[in-house]
Amino acid sequence: MKYKNSKFLRISGLFCLLCLHIGISNGATSTASLTVSVRVRSFCTVTAPTALAFPDITDLTVGPSGTTNITLKCTKGTTVNTIKIDSANKDGSGVRRLKDTGTNYLSYVLYQTTGLNFTSGTSTGTCTVGGTVLPITSSEGITNGLFGVSTAFTIPVCGKINDGQDVPVGAYSDSATITVDYT
């Protein structure tokens, strides 16, 4: 019986060694390549953080002026073709108007920002009250629309209430839509 157990142990041991050998020799590896990619597309966001709030009118003979800023940020390499500012209360001929809660209007103008150069990351352009009027159908004055950096640009917007309007007391407002066309 001792002999049989001894033989059994030897056979079992050899079987275990054989299993280990088979497990080791049959191990293999496989490799493959994984392509990782992304496409960065032209993209712009425009925000108007503050309103263009004109000072209160106390003399109807002289319309007040005001300024504010819009912020434009685009991906590097994007070209800005146009920046337009529409008016919700414009009349049929394209005159911008502020409206009260009734049927009264105050006309106003926005002036074109000139010298916008987005390549350097520093130029914001200039807006001068009394300068070139920005018609609703026209674009801001873009000198170079190619974004050389992905930096947010501050663009000044300035405007003036037209002089000599005869309107009743009240709060007047307009909603202007800023549209940026880019490629």
**Domain map (residue ranges) of the chain:** 44-182
Comparing 61-75, 99-113, 116-130, the range with the smallest average pLDDT is 116-130
- Evaluate if pTM is beyond 0.85: no
Sequential DSSP letters for 28-61: ------------PPP-EEEE--S---PPPPS-TT
Q: How far apart are CA 86 and CA 93, in angstroms?
A: 13
CATH of 44-182, one of 2.30.30.790, 3.30.1300.10, 2.60.40.1090, 3.40.50.620: 2.60.40.1090
Is the per-residue pLDDT at 2 higher than 60? no
Q: What is the pLDDT of residue 3?
A: 53
